Amino acid sequence: MEKEINPNVVYTTEETKDLLKISTSTMKRMLKKGLIRANKIGGQYRILGKEILRLVSPEVEKTAVKSYLQLKKKVVNKINKW
């Protein structure tokens, strides 16, 4: 049974590794190279679900960035009119 990744849940590296179906060494390499953003708490990494989703669905991030840039442009235009 596949588990659904909740964007607002905090996952351990073990849970993340299982969700992504990757090896322990791959997980360590991704953390070390900064390919996956994580916070270290009490000597252990914790990964937010939305970070896991970003890895498996880069299209979601592209859409979010596009929306952000459009909103930023509107705000800048509004400020420049003052």
Per-residue pLDDT reduced to its tens digit, 9-23: 999 999 999 999 999
Question: Domain 10-81, what fold?
Answer: Multidrug-efflux Transporter Regulator; Chain: A; Domain 2 (1.10.1660)
Model confidence band, residue 81 (pLDDT cutoffs 50, 70, 90): confident
The domain limits of the chain are 10-81
Residue 66 has a pLDDT of 78
Residue 82 has a pLDDT of 75
Closest of 3, 4, 8 to residue 49, by C-alpha: 8
Closest of 63, 60, 31 to residue 11, by C-alpha: 31
Q: What is the pTM of this model?
A: 0.65
